[in-house]
Amino acid sequence: MSFYLPSLRGHASRFLTRPATLTSTPFFSPPTTATTSTQCLFAPSTRAVAFSTTPSPLAPPNAKNKGTGKPGKPGAGGKLKPGSKPAKKKGKGKGKGGEEQIDPRFINMMRHLAVLSPKRIPPPLRMGRNRHLRHWTIHRAWLLFRRRERDARERNLQRQYQSMHAAMEELRLTSGPGTRDEGYLYRVATEKKGVYGLHGVPIEYARAQTETPARVAWNHDWKR
């Protein structure tokens, strides 16, 4: 006694092929060598079917908000209106706008350490041949400029001194006014009257002029 097992290839061809004419064949048929056209019972439809996103009344309560969203509010499947901004989440321990506050001590420390950053430190002066020549040329030009400025200032002071010397020599050789003898104007010009104040004397004359220094140079015990 033997049992007949249907062919899987025959069933697959029966469900996935569309016949030209409708023919009735038994569900379980013996395999044959000739091809038999059968009707496709579950043929895929060419018309697109839009799946609805409306939650089923039999779905659990938490499933109603999934895939749907109100207009203007960001949801899993909702859309935003043009020009609207998404809502910001607010958290505990945060500042305005939900941003985390940074410790001022940390900011101060980072500000001081930023000076030592490799981006702020200039690169080392690598003295290549061309760079050394440029550095030497600029250095020598700066020294030449300073020397010319110093020489010009010294020549100007020398001209002023020579002019003053010539004027004083002219006063020394001039007589007058009136019956004054020669050199009177020179002596009046060098008196320095009023230079140290009204009826004042130079500070050198404030102490007694002695030929030898004092035994005690400074009296530390003196009090007013």
pLDDT at 10: 61
Burial (CB count within 10 angstroms: exposed 0-12, middle 13-18, buried 19+), residue 209: exposed
Which residue ranges make up each domain of the chain? 153-196
DSSP structural state of residue 115: G
Place of tokens 């109100």: 70
Could you give the C-alpha distances from 175 to 42, 163, 183, 187, in angstroms and in order? 145, 20, 6, 12
Q: Determine contact, residues 152/145, Cβ cutoff 8 Å.
A: no
pLDDT at 218: 86
pLDDT at 216: 84
Q: Mean pLDDT score of the chain, rounded to an integer?
A: 73
DSSP structural state of residue 38: -
Name the nearest CA neighbour of 74 among 88, 64, 63, 60: 88
d(CA 174, CA 165): 14
Cβ atoms within 10 A of the Cβ of 17, count?
14
Task: Write out pLDDT tens, residues 171-210.
Answer: 999 998 889 999 999 999 888 888 888 888 888 787 777 8
- Amino acid type, 39: Q
d(CA 78, CA 65): 10
List the chain residues with pLDDT less than 70.
Answer: 1-98, 125
pLDDT at 119: 77
pLDDT at 72: 47
d(CA 102, CA 99): 9
Collapsed DSSP state (helix, strand, coil) of residue 137: helix
Burial (CB count within 10 angstroms: exposed 0-12, middle 13-18, buried 19+), residue 9: exposed
DSSP structural state of residue 23: -
Collapsed DSSP state (helix, strand, coil) of residue 63: helix
pLDDT at 18: 58
Q: Give yes or no for a cis peptide into 177 (omega within 30° of 0).
A: yes
